[in-house]
Amino acid sequence: MEEKIFFFGKWQEGKDYFEVKNPYTQKVLWKFPSLSCEDVERAISFLEKNKKIMKEMPKFKRAEILENFKKILENKKEEFARTISLECGKTIKEARLEVERGIETITYSYIETKNYKEEVIPFDSSKYGEKRIGFYIREPLGVVGIITPFNFPLNLALHKIAPSIGCGNSIVFKPASYTPKVGKMIVEALLEAGYPEECIAFLTGSGKKVGESIVKNEYVKAISFTGSLEVGERISQISKMKRITLELGSNSACVVFKDSDWEKYLDRMVKGAYALAGQVCISIQRIYVEKDIYEEFCEKYLEKVKNIKVGDPLEEETDMGPMIDEENAIRAESWLKEAEENGAEVLPEIKRERTILYPCIVKNADEDLKICKKEAFAPFVVINPFENEEEVIFKVNNSIYGLQCGIFTKDIKRAFKFFKEIEVGGVIINDIPTYRVDLMPYGGVKGSGIGREGPHFAFDELSEIKLIVFNLD
């Protein structure tokens, strides 16, 4: 089935198409247009000509669009969930949760649209500000480029799209080529909700052509991207004077002290490592366990890993489905083999069937191996022992990434020590680094990105302060 893209205010067919496959069955689901650089330029030029429509739209009407959008999503929960599961291999249970979170993201964006503060500046607090009065407002940037990943094709898109609407921006939206149908459904729902046809372009195709053309385009004033470090670095090199928000990779760590109620949280730690076959930016990739409880922890953790039901993502009882494609499954399998060859212990075993890489743990892995240093994005976790706080702080920080970290301890002084010294965007005490609610400031440091998401914080990223000052003398 050949699908359409949207620009010039209407749905359009393509000339060339690419196939979208189900990661589990490997069957072709549908085909989407593979656009050229020229197509992108024409589509964005049209948005630029019409950007005043959104800029001049009052806030209450932007909020109405978001409210309508939320209602449509609520009415189509199962349709969205099933499509998410089909395209990215997420279990149907995980997909339904993503839809619920997406509804929350729209809700918070609606609230922010209605309540976003624009302030009076107290000029007379300065001796140079006597008889001056002024205030600032927030203006839209204009055309915003939104480039999204496969692993949360709905909610991560909404984290960019919903605040863009609230700010009054026009949108050029490129979803991951693995998950374009979810992207199309978002655009269909937006148009039904009342978003102006002249102010959105939905473009599909390769990152090299479509993605880079969006980033380089002079009319695009901001890029909001979630994806790999390598692509994020490329965007930062070619975006010139644009506003950029980059949500990139991680190899998130969890630190478990013996004073914590760690057994109570084992199920959470397993879920945090193997949800979506480990293909989550804040998946637990490294667990550091205090030496005195290391063997007991590994034994009990492994028992839970063995009970993960792997299979068809659309079946209700399935806990974990496939990786996004066989190439990535082969790559992750090779990392496990490399670790085993270098003295690490992989349990229960290394096992792969096409796109399915079965869940496992890696004990006593050298910290310089790929499975520790790079982003795995795969269903395994490294579990290594530590003896003291300084040692484990060094190990956690010995990474090019810095997104989130989980610390399990009852010691409040230790919790604050780690909060101050761990180089990440978020420190989660007595929970996993995979914890995220959609209103919190989310983002990282170092190779994990630039800027913060969460509707309130995205409004800052996707709008511009404009100041007016009156001289009353």
Superfamily of structural domain 253-438: Aldehyde Dehydrogenase; Chain A, domain 2 (3.40.309.10)
Say whether pLDDT at 97 is over 90.
yes
The pLDDT of 75-94, averaged and rounded, is 98
Residue 69: name the closest of 216, 235, 191 by CA.
191
Residue 40: name the closest of 219, 295, 228 by CA.
219
Model confidence pLDDT, tens digit, residues 251-272 = 999 999 999 999 999 999 999 9
The pLDDT mean for the chain works out to: 97
Residue 421 parent element (H or E): helix 412-421
The confidence score (pLDDT) of residue 155 equals: 98
Percent of the chain with pLDDT over 70: 100
Distance CA 413, CA 254 (A): 18
Say whether pLDDT at 150 is over 90.
yes
Say whether pLDDT at 425 is over 90.
yes
Cβ contact 255:407 at 8 Å: yes
Annotated catalytic residue within 247, 333, 375, 453: 247
Cβ contact 338:368 at 8 Å: no
Q: For domain 5-248+448-471, give the CATH number.
A: 3.40.605.10
Model confidence pLDDT, tens digit, residues 201-253 = 999 999 999 999 999 999 999 999 999 999 999 999 999 999 999 999 999 99
The confidence score (pLDDT) of residue 116 equals: 86
Q: What is the CA radius of gyration of the chain?
A: 23
The confidence score (pLDDT) of residue 1 equals: 84
Model confidence pLDDT, tens digit, residues 103-124 = 999 999 999 999 988 899 999 9
Distance CA 187, CA 172 (A): 11
Buried b (16+ CB within 10 A) or exposed e, 447-470: bbbbbbbbbbbbbbbbbbeeeeee
Cβ contact 148:102 at 8 Å: no
Q: What are the boundaries of each domain within the chain?
A: 5-248+448-471, 253-438
Which amino acid does the sequence have at 124?
D
The pLDDT of 402-429, averaged and rounded, is 98
Residue 328: name the closest of 279, 270, 272, 285 by CA.
279
Annotated catalytic residue within 88, 167, 254, 281: 281
Distance CA 27, CA 142 (A): 40
The confidence score (pLDDT) of residue 118 equals: 87
The confidence score (pLDDT) of residue 296 equals: 98
The pLDDT of 273-296, averaged and rounded, is 98
Strand segments (E) across 285-423: 286-290, 345-347, 352-353, 356-357, 360-363, 380-386, 404-408
Distance CA 115, CA 406 (A): 32
Distance CA 95, CA 153 (A): 10
Residue 304: name the closest of 256, 365, 359, 246 by CA.
359
Could you check whether 5-248+448-471 and 253-438 share the same CATH topology? Answer: no
**Catalytic residue at 247?**
yes
**Catalytic residue at 281?**
yes
Say whether pLDDT at 11 is over 90.
yes
State if pTM tops 0.85: yes
